[in-house]
Structure 1
Amino acid sequence: MKYIIKLLMMSMLLTVVTIPLVKASEENAAATNFSVTPLNEKTLKPQSSYFDLKLSPGSNKKMTVRIDNPNDEAIKVLVEANNGSTNDNGITSYLTTKKRDTTLKVAFSDMTSFKKETITVPKNATKNVVVPINVPQESFEGVVLGGLRFSLEDDDKKKLKHPQSQVKFLIQSVFF
């Protein structure tokens, strides 16, 4: 009998503890669940998680990324095209930087007119983002690194009860 009472008390305690967790998870789900997928330019089918392109001087290319919103409400996603750089620890970073290295001859920002844009993705839908790449006529040695950064627009971030659950994605791009 004592065993049954203990078991009943434990299950009630477990129920009381988990109900708020499930509710918080459901509240954040609508504002945080989205994904991004790089697409092959010719087939528009998913490819690897980054773009690795060999381009000739003067050539043009389009990078297409699909944003998937499986939620029951529309979301606004901020898309930024950023140059690749290294941070103070020597790690590659694709965050917006205010100053450009003076030794950098060609940057990702020189190769695309896409800078920053807010994309509204309807509920339970996908939307493709096309980033045009125009390689300068003058050839250069080396590799150009850039990144497409996807994050929720500020309006959608305010819907979150737990800010640590903000979602950000980065699609790295390598050009040589």
Structure 2
Amino acid sequence: MKWKTYLLIMLTLVVGMLTLSPVSANELTFGVQANLPKNQVDQKVTYFDLQLDPGKQQTVTVTVTNGTKEEVKINPEVNTATTNLNGVVEYQHVSSKNLDPSLKYSLADYVTPVEKTVVLKSKSNQENSFARADA
């Protein structure tokens, strides 16, 4: 009877070890908050919705915060928001040929990053000019 118990325990341990899978976690290394200018259409929202005259340009700024213990290097880019299969909004780069054909205006056609690289020291925040908007 004892050998059956030992066999069952050993079998459970072996099966348990075979089904283990490595796990990794991504840590969000920085946060971004829009600094809304006076020509913001709705001051209650947290994204840029600017009223610009035709042909005008405006540089917008954001405050970037690094809450980690290490220096963070950021390469800003402008991406059009999309939704995944679950309906969750994503801001990752999507090839223009993969965008929905009903898209009239791509954000990347009107907004360009000002800075190529931003370096944030540990536990710090700073205001950065990230994008220039063309009307």
Question: After superposition, where does 1:136-175 map in structure 2 within 5 Å?
Answer: none
Q: Residue 133 of structure 1 aligns with which residue? A: 133
Partner secondary structure for residue 109 of structure 2: helix
Which of the two has greater strand per residue?
1
Q: 5+ unaligned residues in a row in structure 1: which ranges?
A: 1-27, 136-176
Partner secondary structure for residue 52 of structure 2: coil
Q: Residue 83 of structure 1 aligns with which residue? A: 80
Q: Residue 34 of structure 1 aligns with which residue? A: 30
What's the Cα RMSD here? Answer: 3.4
Q: 2:61 aligns with which of 61, 64, 76?
A: 64
Partner secondary structure for residue 77 of structure 2: strand
Q: Give 1:109's aligned amino acid.
A: A
Could you tell me whether the CA contact under 8 Å between 1:38 and 1:48 is conserved in 2?
A: no
Q: Residue 113 of structure 1 aligns with which residue? A: 112
Q: Evaluate the alpha carbon distance shift between residue 70 and residue 77 of structure 1 in structure 2; reply closer, same or farther with a 3 A threshold.
A: same
Q: Evaluate the alpha carbon distance shift between residue 123 and residue 52 of structure 1 in structure 2; reply closer, same or farther with a 3 A threshold.
A: same
Q: Distance in 2 between matches of 1:124 and 1:48?
A: 26
Could you tell me whether the CA contact under 8 Å between 1:67 and 1:128 is conserved in 2?
A: yes
Partner secondary structure for residue 32 of structure 2: strand
Of structures 1 and 2, the larger Rg is shown by: 2
Per the normalisation by structure 2, the TM-score is 0.56
Could you tell me whether the CA contact under 8 Å between 2:79 and 2:93 is conserved in 1?
A: yes
In the comparison of the two structures, how many residue pairs are matched? 103
The CA deviation string for residues 113-149 of structure 1, in whole angstroms up to 9 with x for no partner, is: 22994421022332223111112xxxxxxxxxxxxxx
Per the normalisation by structure 1, the TM-score is 0.45
